[in-house]
Structure 1
């Protein structure tokens, strides 16, 4: 289990992580999502003791990472697959890691087989493809047979077979009662892998719920009402997390309220509705809606010419241009 309490990290005037509190439970796959610069990498680094918090604390399996006598047996992490001596072979790298943590060589052979590194185990890591480097990083994370596994973008560079393998691996580890915490920018893959989601934006938690609840909470409902009553319905529905707008004289679009609740509110306020049509959204749609005001980096308009990308440490970057203004809507305060 991973438990963070008011966890913060500041770099001078820049707050990368702002008093976040969350729990990653064992027995399920918890996805960690957020735009570039949201604080994901910094949070993961604090969990495994690579960065010291500016405030708050975080524990893994009941203790700070640094206090575990055999940390590799408690927590296995893939944060930077490139952090390997490039002139070593995969086998020698794993064997050296095992030797420093009292792990037998038989376990080295097991993780090599598990991650599919057998054909390249004796080759120098410097010649590895991005995908093989990721497999080696995952092998290191699993070397101590840990209770908790943290994987930052584990499918980066993997082919479809490798992506599917990581999905089955994560779910298999969770089924054994382990804590699995992973990040990914592939929403379609996260939708198939994760049971629970924690979404962070600009250093703050903006969602912490089962994955289906996150999707349902951003679902859209189209409501048909009498032509003279749409504004009444908008007023009735105004509340925290609710967005609504009039699309046509008799058609209202509502986000953030379940259809049953809309019907109950309309009945209470005597607003006649003719039709309720739920429109299921994907995880990607839900994520984009949740984070639309939290994006720190914005791509240029392709129609306007070459796009300038921002290359910077995402958790240390300075202020960027503000987000584009959304269409006029009525939002709850």
Structure 2
């Protein structure tokens, strides 16, 4: 379990993380979302003891990271897949890590096979693709068979097979009762992977709830309705907080009123309805609604405008 209490980090005049409190429970996959500059990386670095909080505290399995005698056995993390000695082979990189924590060589071979690196284990890391580097980073995170796993953008650079593998892996780890905390900018993948979400914006928590609750809690209920009397039904449904859009002949999309309310109105007024389909908002829509006032860097591009080429690096 990861527990943050009033966690704060200030750099000069900038508050990167402002007094956040949250708990990442064992036995489920918890997603960590937020716009660029929201404080995700800083929070993860404080969890891992790489940055010291200005105020507040964060513990992993009941203790600050630095106080664990064998931290790799308690918590495994992928924060930067490039943080590897590139002149070493994948096997030797993992072997060196294992030696510092009294982890047997057999475990090195296990994580190599688990992450699909068997064919490249004796090759130098400097020749690895982005996806292979991600797999090596995940192997390192799992090396100590930890109770808690933190993965920052774990599917970055992976092919579709690799993305599915990560999804199944983290779900399996959570099913074993482990704490799994991961970030990603791929909303579609997070929707398929996470059980619970913590959303941060401008250094503060703006949502901490099960993923289904976040999706259904943001934005009005929407329902697709087919009827042979669309104009009449539109008039009957019109009211405060209810909007109706015509998508094609006899097809309406109603927002702000649940299907039961639509059906009751149609029945009471003898309007035949031959389709009534609830439409669930996507995680991306819910996320955009949650963070619309928390984005630090805004783009302003109008339709038809040319997009200038990006100068320089990332």
Question: Which consecutive residues of structure 2, in runs of 5 or more, have no partner in the other structure?
Answer: 224-232, 246-252, 263-270
Task: From the superposition, tell whether residues 194 and 252 of structure 1 become closer, same or farther in structure 2 (CA, over 3 Å).
Answer: closer
Aligned to 1:59: 59
TM value normalised by structure 2 = 0.83
Aligned to 2:90: 90
Aligned to 2:296: 296
Shift of 1:298: 2.2
TM value normalised by structure 1 = 0.79
Aligned to 1:306: 307
Shift of 1:111: 0.4
Aligned to 2:26: 26
Count of matched residue positions in the alignment of Structure 1 and Structure 2? 288
Task: From the superposition, tell whether residues 262 and 227 of structure 1 become closer, same or farther in structure 2 (CA, over 3 Å).
Answer: closer
Aligned to 1:322: none
Equivalent residues in 2 for 1:131-150, closer than 5 Å: 131-150=131-150
Aligned to 1:40: 40
Aligned to 2:105: 105
Task: From the superposition, tell whether residues 222 and 138 of structure 1 become closer, same or farther in structure 2 (CA, over 3 Å).
Answer: closer
Shift of 1:285: 1.1
Secondary structure, aligned partner of 1:38: coil
Measured in 1, the distance between the counterparts of 2:312 and 2:193 equals 29
Task: From the superposition, tell whether residues 222 and 131 of structure 1 become closer, same or farther in structure 2 (CA, over 3 Å).
Answer: closer
Aligned to 2:187: 187
Aligned to 1:75: 75
- Asked if the contact 1:8/1:55 (under 8 Å) is kept, the reply is yes
Aligned to 1:116: 116
Equivalent residues in 2 for 1:133-212, closer than 5 Å: 133-212=133-212
Aligned to 1:324: none
- Asked if the contact 1:197/1:208 (under 8 Å) is kept, the reply is yes
Aligned to 1:2: 2
Shift of 1:16: 0.9
Measured in 2, the distance between the counterparts of 1:39 and 1:310 equals 26
Secondary structure, aligned partner of 1:304: coil
RMSD, matched Cα: 2.9
Measured in 2, the distance between the counterparts of 1:42 and 1:76 equals 17
Measured in 2, the distance between the counterparts of 1:229 and 1:195 equals 36
Question: Which consecutive residues of structure 1, in runs of 5 or more, have no partner in the other structure?
Answer: 234-243, 264-273, 314-333
Measured in 2, the distance between the counterparts of 1:186 and 1:293 equals 20
User: Which digits, 9 at most, give the CA deviation of each residue in 1:151-198, with x for residues without a partner?
Assistant: 000000000010000001000000000000000111111111110000
- Asked if the contact 1:155/1:166 (under 8 Å) is kept, the reply is yes
Task: From the superposition, tell whether residues 26 and 262 of structure 1 become closer, same or farther in structure 2 (CA, over 3 Å).
Answer: farther
Measured in 2, the distance between the counterparts of 1:310 and 1:44 equals 30
Measured in 1, the distance between the counterparts of 2:108 and 2:8 equals 36
Measured in 2, the distance between the counterparts of 1:173 and 1:260 equals 38
- Asked if the contact 1:32/1:197 (under 8 Å) is kept, the reply is yes
